[in-house]
Amino acid sequence: MIKLTIDGKKVTADAEATILEVAREEGIEIPTLCYHEALTPIGACRLCVVEVTEGGRTRTMAACVAPVLEGMEVVTNSEKIQNIRRTIVQLLLARCPELEVIRKLADKLGVKDTPFKPESEDCFLCGICVRACDEIVGVNAIGFTNRGVRNEVLPPFAEASNVCIGCGTCTTVCPARTFDLERVTKSESMHTFAKEYRRDYCSICGTHYMIPESYLSE
C-alpha cells in the first residue's frame, strides 16, 4: 500500500491502482469519456486530466492511465484543469455537435459554444467499442482505420467482417449510441457499420449471443 494526497486529502491506495480508481473510491468525481471500468484504459480523450506534483515537479496527467505513486500530490479540479477540460469539450462539441453525451458534458462544464470549426461526426473515437470487441468478445472484428482527421472505427478494409459474431456488444457499450440498434432484428443477420453480419447462436441453449431481448425489434 502507498500513501498519497488527493485534493488535500491523505489516502492510502493499492500500488497497482490508477489515480482515477483511487479518486473514485474516495468519492472524488473526475469526468471521463474513453474510460470503461471493464476495459483497459488508453488515455485517449484526456478529459480526466489532473495536476500531479511529484519530486517537486508538477505535470498534468490523464488520471485513468496514471498509476499512483508514494508521496504524490494530486489536484483534480484546479482552474487550470477546468480550462483544459473546457477546451477538450469545445473540440468535441465541434466534432460531434449533435451527440447528447457531448452536449451533457458541455452543460456540466459550463461550455456553451465552441470556437472550433464545426463538423458533423457521430463518433468521437473513444475506442470503447474496439476494446470491448477485443477484450470482452475476443474477436477483434473492428478497429481504427486511417489516421488523423480521417480516423474512424470500421471492420478491416471497411468490409463485412468474417469474424464478427453479431453479438452487438459494440452497440451497447458505445457512449455515443453511434450504431443504429433499430436495425437489429431477430432474423439471421444484423446491421452494423452499414454491413450485414451473420448472427451466431449458442449451440447449447439456442439463443443468440449477448444482445439483450429488450434491444430486439419483432
Contact residues toward ligand FES (CB under 6 A) are: 32-35, 43-48, 62, 64
Q: Count how many Cα atoms sit within 13 Å of the Cα of residue 159 in the half-sphere of its side chain.
A: 2
* Closest approach of ligand FES to the CB of residue 157, in Å: 28
- Measured CA to CA in angstroms, residue 32 lies from 128, 146, 180 at distances of 12, 25, 24
* Closest approach of ligand FES to the CB of residue 177, in Å: 18
* Nearer residue to ligand FES within complex by CB, 45 or 165: 45
* Nearer residue to ligand FES within complex by CB, 37 or 180: 37
Rounded Cα distance between 96 and 124, Å, is 7
Rounded Cα distance between 11 and 23, Å, is 9
* Nearer residue to ligand FES within complex by CB, 45 or 52: 45
> If we measure between CA atoms, which residue out of 53, 33, 51 comes closest to residue 43?
33
* Nearer residue to ligand FES within complex by CB, 127 or 155: 127
> If we measure between CA atoms, which residue out of 215, 141, 135, 154 comes closest to residue 180?
215
* Nearer residue to ligand FES within complex by CB, 62 or 130: 62
* Closest approach of ligand FES to the CB of residue 192, in Å: 24
* Closest approach of ligand FES to the CB of residue 66, in Å: 9
* Closest approach of ligand FES to the CB of residue 190, in Å: 29
Residues 6+ apart with CB under 8 A from 145: 151, 152, 153, 154, 156, 158
Q: How far is the first Cα of the chain from the last one, in angstroms, to the nearest whole number? A: 53
* Closest approach of ligand FES to the CB of residue 38, in Å: 14
* Nearer residue to ligand FES within complex by CB, 17 or 44: 44
Rounded Cα distance between 215 and 208, Å, is 12
